[in-house]
Amino acid sequence: MAKGSTFLTVLLAVSLLSLPVAGSYTSKNAGVQWMTPAETEAAMNKETKAIIIDVYTTWCHYCKVMDATTWKDDSVAQYVKDHFYAMKLNAEDKQSLTWNGKVYEYLPRYKVNKLAVELLRGNMVYPSTVIIPEKGDWEIIPGAFKPADVEIVLKYYGSGANEKMDFATWQKQFHGQWR
Protein backbone atom coordinates (compact mmCIF):
# COMPACT_ATOMS: atom_id res chain seq x y z
CA MET A 1 0.00 0.00 0.00
CA ALA A 2 1.22 3.48 -0.81
CA LYS A 3 2.51 5.90 1.82
CA GLY A 4 -0.25 7.76 3.52
CA SER A 5 -2.81 5.04 2.80
CA THR A 6 -3.33 4.39 6.51
CA PHE A 7 -4.16 8.06 6.91
CA LEU A 8 -6.56 7.88 3.95
CA THR A 9 -8.25 4.85 5.47
CA VAL A 10 -8.73 6.55 8.84
CA LEU A 11 -9.92 9.80 7.24
CA LEU A 12 -12.55 8.11 5.13
CA ALA A 13 -13.61 5.56 7.73
CA VAL A 14 -14.34 8.37 10.20
CA SER A 15 -16.65 9.94 7.63
CA LEU A 16 -18.95 6.92 7.98
CA LEU A 17 -20.21 8.48 11.18
CA SER A 18 -21.46 11.53 9.34
CA LEU A 19 -22.83 9.78 6.25
CA PRO A 20 -26.33 11.01 5.49
CA VAL A 21 -29.41 8.88 5.07
CA ALA A 22 -29.98 7.66 1.50
CA GLY A 23 -31.87 10.19 -0.58
CA SER A 24 -30.69 13.32 1.21
CA TYR A 25 -28.60 14.53 -1.74
CA THR A 26 -30.23 15.99 -4.78
CA SER A 27 -28.85 15.46 -8.23
CA LYS A 28 -29.62 16.70 -11.72
CA ASN A 29 -27.93 13.76 -13.41
CA ALA A 30 -27.81 9.99 -13.19
CA GLY A 31 -24.59 10.06 -11.20
CA VAL A 32 -21.39 8.22 -11.97
CA GLN A 33 -21.67 6.21 -15.18
CA TRP A 34 -20.21 2.82 -14.28
CA MET A 35 -18.61 0.35 -16.66
CA THR A 36 -18.05 -3.38 -16.38
CA PRO A 37 -14.51 -4.77 -16.20
CA ALA A 38 -14.71 -5.67 -19.93
CA GLU A 39 -15.90 -2.17 -20.88
CA THR A 40 -13.17 -0.60 -18.76
CA GLU A 41 -10.47 -2.70 -20.43
CA ALA A 42 -11.80 -1.80 -23.87
CA ALA A 43 -11.71 1.90 -22.99
CA MET A 44 -8.16 1.57 -21.60
CA ASN A 45 -7.03 0.10 -24.92
CA LYS A 46 -8.11 3.33 -26.62
CA GLU A 47 -6.92 5.88 -24.05
CA THR A 48 -5.04 5.51 -20.78
CA LYS A 49 -6.72 7.08 -17.78
CA ALA A 50 -6.86 6.49 -14.03
CA ILE A 51 -9.53 4.02 -12.91
CA ILE A 52 -11.89 4.17 -9.94
CA ILE A 53 -13.57 0.92 -8.93
CA ASP A 54 -16.56 0.65 -6.62
CA VAL A 55 -16.38 -2.81 -5.04
CA TYR A 56 -19.75 -3.63 -3.52
CA THR A 57 -22.19 -6.41 -2.67
CA THR A 58 -25.94 -6.51 -3.20
CA TRP A 59 -26.64 -6.99 0.53
CA CYS A 60 -24.39 -4.16 1.79
CA HIS A 61 -26.37 -1.28 3.34
CA TYR A 62 -23.58 1.29 3.04
CA CYS A 63 -22.97 0.29 -0.58
CA LYS A 64 -26.58 1.28 -1.29
CA VAL A 65 -26.16 4.52 0.65
CA MET A 66 -23.08 5.37 -1.45
CA ASP A 67 -25.03 4.62 -4.64
CA ALA A 68 -27.90 6.86 -3.55
CA THR A 69 -25.78 9.74 -2.29
CA THR A 70 -22.08 10.06 -3.05
CA TRP A 71 -22.08 8.41 -6.48
CA LYS A 72 -25.19 10.43 -7.46
CA ASP A 73 -23.68 13.77 -6.42
CA ASP A 74 -23.23 16.07 -9.43
CA SER A 75 -19.73 17.23 -8.45
CA VAL A 76 -18.50 13.69 -7.82
CA ALA A 77 -20.05 12.34 -11.01
CA GLN A 78 -18.63 15.12 -13.19
CA TYR A 79 -15.13 14.84 -11.70
CA VAL A 80 -15.10 11.08 -12.09
CA LYS A 81 -16.31 11.41 -15.69
CA ASP A 82 -13.56 13.93 -16.51
CA HIS A 83 -10.63 12.17 -14.82
CA PHE A 84 -11.33 8.44 -14.42
CA TYR A 85 -12.78 5.36 -15.97
CA ALA A 86 -15.42 4.27 -13.46
CA MET A 87 -15.87 0.54 -12.94
CA LYS A 88 -18.41 -1.16 -10.69
CA LEU A 89 -17.63 -4.63 -9.38
CA ASN A 90 -19.98 -6.87 -7.44
CA ALA A 91 -17.53 -8.74 -5.20
CA GLU A 92 -19.87 -11.74 -5.24
CA ASP A 93 -20.26 -11.90 -9.04
CA LYS A 94 -20.58 -15.58 -9.96
CA GLN A 95 -19.59 -15.02 -13.58
CA SER A 96 -15.98 -15.45 -14.65
CA LEU A 97 -14.47 -12.02 -15.16
CA THR A 98 -11.51 -11.13 -17.34
CA TRP A 99 -9.17 -8.36 -16.24
CA ASN A 100 -5.74 -7.54 -17.66
CA GLY A 101 -5.72 -10.75 -19.66
CA LYS A 102 -6.44 -12.96 -16.64
CA VAL A 103 -9.67 -14.85 -15.92
CA TYR A 104 -11.07 -14.57 -12.39
CA GLU A 105 -13.48 -17.23 -11.16
CA TYR A 106 -16.09 -17.19 -8.44
CA LEU A 107 -15.04 -18.95 -5.24
CA PRO A 108 -18.23 -20.59 -3.91
CA ARG A 109 -16.62 -21.57 -0.61
CA TYR A 110 -15.93 -17.90 0.19
CA LYS A 111 -18.82 -16.43 -1.83
CA VAL A 112 -16.52 -14.01 -3.64
CA ASN A 113 -15.03 -13.46 -7.06
CA LYS A 114 -11.23 -13.71 -7.24
CA LEU A 115 -11.01 -10.32 -8.98
CA ALA A 116 -12.47 -8.62 -5.89
CA VAL A 117 -10.01 -10.53 -3.68
CA GLU A 118 -7.09 -9.36 -5.81
CA LEU A 119 -8.23 -5.73 -6.05
CA LEU A 120 -8.90 -5.53 -2.30
CA ARG A 121 -5.73 -7.48 -1.50
CA GLY A 122 -7.81 -9.91 0.52
CA ASN A 123 -9.28 -7.25 2.84
CA MET A 124 -12.93 -7.84 1.98
CA VAL A 125 -14.57 -4.64 3.24
CA TYR A 126 -17.71 -3.33 1.55
CA PRO A 127 -17.99 -0.86 0.13
CA SER A 128 -14.40 -0.28 -0.91
CA THR A 129 -13.15 2.12 -3.52
CA VAL A 130 -10.07 1.15 -5.48
CA ILE A 131 -8.16 3.84 -7.34
CA ILE A 132 -5.72 2.72 -9.99
CA PRO A 133 -3.69 5.78 -11.01
CA GLU A 134 -2.07 6.07 -14.43
CA LYS A 135 1.30 5.66 -12.71
CA GLY A 136 1.97 3.86 -9.46
CA ASP A 137 0.31 1.26 -7.30
CA TRP A 138 -3.41 1.12 -6.69
CA GLU A 139 -4.97 2.46 -3.51
CA ILE A 140 -7.77 0.79 -1.56
CA ILE A 141 -10.12 3.02 0.42
CA PRO A 142 -12.48 0.89 2.52
CA GLY A 143 -15.78 2.18 3.81
CA ALA A 144 -18.48 4.63 2.82
CA PHE A 145 -18.00 8.37 2.60
CA LYS A 146 -19.80 11.51 1.55
CA PRO A 147 -18.81 13.78 -1.38
CA ALA A 148 -16.87 16.28 0.73
CA ASP A 149 -14.75 13.44 2.10
CA VAL A 150 -14.01 11.79 -1.24
CA GLU A 151 -13.13 15.07 -2.98
CA ILE A 152 -9.59 15.23 -1.58
CA VAL A 153 -8.80 11.68 -2.67
CA LEU A 154 -10.36 11.94 -6.13
CA LYS A 155 -8.55 15.20 -6.83
CA TYR A 156 -5.24 13.83 -5.47
CA TYR A 157 -5.27 11.03 -8.03
CA GLY A 158 -7.31 12.71 -10.76
CA SER A 159 -4.98 15.71 -10.95
CA GLY A 160 -1.84 13.55 -10.97
CA ALA A 161 -0.68 15.08 -7.67
CA ASN A 162 0.06 11.54 -6.45
CA GLU A 163 2.99 11.49 -8.89
CA LYS A 164 4.51 14.67 -7.42
CA MET A 165 3.87 14.58 -3.66
CA ASP A 166 2.71 12.41 -0.81
CA PHE A 167 -0.83 12.63 0.46
CA ALA A 168 0.08 14.48 3.68
CA THR A 169 1.66 17.31 1.64
CA TRP A 170 -1.36 17.38 -0.68
CA GLN A 171 -3.74 17.53 2.27
CA LYS A 172 -1.97 20.60 3.74
CA GLN A 173 -2.47 22.61 0.55
CA PHE A 174 -5.89 21.25 -0.45
CA HIS A 175 -9.03 23.37 -0.14
CA GLY A 176 -12.22 21.39 -0.74
CA GLN A 177 -15.23 22.82 -2.51
CA TRP A 178 -17.80 20.02 -2.39
CA ARG A 179 -20.50 19.86 0.24
Q: What is the pLDDT of residues 25-49, one digit of tens each?
A: 444 568 999 999 999 999 999 999 9
Backbone angles phi, psi at 87, to 5 degrees: -120, 135
Q: Would you say the C-alpha torsion 133, 137, 138, 140 has a positive or negative sign?
A: negative
Q: Using 50, 70 and 90 to split pLDDT, how confident is the model at 136? A: confident
Domain interval for residue 53 = 5-16+31-163
List, in order, residues 6 or more apart from 3 with CB less than 8 Å away.
166, 167
Burial label, 179 (beta-carbon count in 10 A; 0-12, 13-18, 19+): exposed
Which of helix, strand or coil describes residue 109? Answer: coil
Q: Is residue 25 part of a domain?
A: no
Query: Is pLDDT at 7 greater than 90 in this prediction?
Result: no
CATH number for the domain including 136?
A: 3.40.30.10
Query: Is pLDDT at 17 greater than 90 in this prediction?
Result: no
List, in order, residues 6 or more apart from 150 with CB less than 8 Å away.
12, 70, 76, 129
Q: Is residue 23 part of a domain?
A: no
CB 1 within 8 A of CB 142: no
pLDDT in tens, 112-125: 999 999 999 999 99
Q: Is residue 49 part of a domain?
A: yes
Q: Is residue 134 part of a domain?
A: yes
- pLDDT score for 23: 41
Overall number of domains in the chain: 1
Q: Is residue 179 part of a domain?
A: no
- pLDDT score for 178: 87
The predicted model gives 59-72 an average pLDDT of 96
